[in-house]
Amino acid sequence: MFKYTLDNKRYHTLNYFYKTKFNTKVFKVALNGNFTCPNKDGTKGIGGCIYCSPSGSGDFAGNIKDNLIDQFNKIKQIELLKWPEAKYIAYFQANSNTYDSIDKLKEKYEAVINLPDVIGLSIATRPDCFNEEIYDYLEELNKRTYLTIELGLQTIKEETLKLINRGHSTQEFINCYNELTKRGIKVIVHIINGLPGETKEDMLKTIKFLNNLNIYGIKIHMLSVTKNTKLAKMYEEKPFHLLTKDEYIDIVIDQLELLNPETIICRITGDPVREDLIEPKWLLKKFVVLNDIDKEMVRRDTYQGAKL
């Protein structure tokens, strides 16, 4: 059995990490803090990244019409039906959740971290949404709770970053990553497989780059074309190749083989909204994808870190 698993998976699952660290079931409660993004408000660009939904990738976050406490409690009540003993991580998911004044950030973060059974805070953001004041506050916050910063990278290929209207460079990501880790803050990196024009080798280069940084955790997504995005318009005007399920599984396993076994695999496929998804339709069968990854790893007799 692979070392970092409780259910015969061959990669370091988030479920394993939570259960061994906190000795209980842990849920992330996705919140919408009503943030925006420098790639939407005109600072870096307008409209965001070409694949970004109007919700700022917060389709499953709380209702923005509710305050943060109400958002949290509504989602918590649902999870309590399944796991009455669970603990919670407050997850600021939609848009760029460090893109505000320090006073606003403190107001929003502090509102939830002391709620009953909240054992941590997870903040999704971009590498160009920090300043010295924010770094200092996060360093202090990291001493009081289990803090992770989810940092969007998507790819290290500069041409692709420009194509997807990312609005920052790989070097900006490196600078931010180094500053966070220097302060002892745990960083989870987001990447996307199947971006237009990228080859399998491009996707493996992104993984090799991240493994050299010794990242704490990673979220691996498959590119999805969803309604009301720039990507949907591009796809309609000139369809480009989207990875098949088998191609995606092959690439993900090759990526896992290049990652340190201690790196936590926080996500290994996407969760698109059914009503909004244009392609690829196979993404709707999340558990089929997960099971097929497991089966193929067994067939290959491989595991996370096998090729290091």
Domain topology for 14-299: TIM Barrel (3.20.20)
pTM, rounded to two decimals: 0.95
- Candidate ranges 19-28, 160-169, 203-212, 268-277; pick with highest mean pLDDT: 203-212
The lowest-confidence range among 59-63, 118-122, 257-261, 298-302 is 59-63
pLDDT tens track for 170-186: 999 999 999 999 999 99
Within a 13 Å sphere around the CA of 162, how many CA atoms are in the beta-carbon half? Answer: 3
Closest CA to 123 of 161, 102, 152: 152
**pLDDT score for 278:** 94
For the chain, what is the total number of helices (H) and then of strands (E)? Answer: 10, 9
**pLDDT score for 252:** 98
- φ/ψ region of 294 (left if φ > 0, alpha if ψ in -120 to 50, else beta) reads alpha
**pLDDT score for 287:** 93
SS3 content of the chain, % helix, strand, coil (to 5): 40, 20, 45
Q: Which two tokens stand for residue 55?
A: 């919700």
Q: Give 46's pLDDT tier (boundaries 50, 70, 90).
A: confident
Task: Report how far Cα 106 is from the mean position of its chain's Cα atoms.
Answer: 22
Strands 264-267 and 217-222: parallel
pLDDT beyond 70 at 302: yes
All structural domains of the chain with their residue ranges: 14-299
Average pLDDT, the chain: 93
Side chain identity at 130, as an amino acid letter? F
pLDDT beyond 80 at 45: no
Helices within 37-126 (DSSP H only): 68-82, 102-113
pLDDT beyond 90 at 110: yes
Mean pLDDT across the stretch 93-103? Answer: 93
Q: Give 92's pLDDT tier (boundaries 50, 70, 90).
A: very high
End-to-end C-alpha distance for the chain, whole angstroms: 18
Long-range CB contacts for residues 19-27, cutoff 8 Å, separation at least 24: 22/87, 22/119, 24/85, 24/86, 24/87, 25/83, 25/85, 25/86, 25/87, 26/86, 26/87, 26/88, 26/89, 26/119, 26/120, 27/76, 27/79, 27/83, 27/86, 27/87, 27/88, 27/89
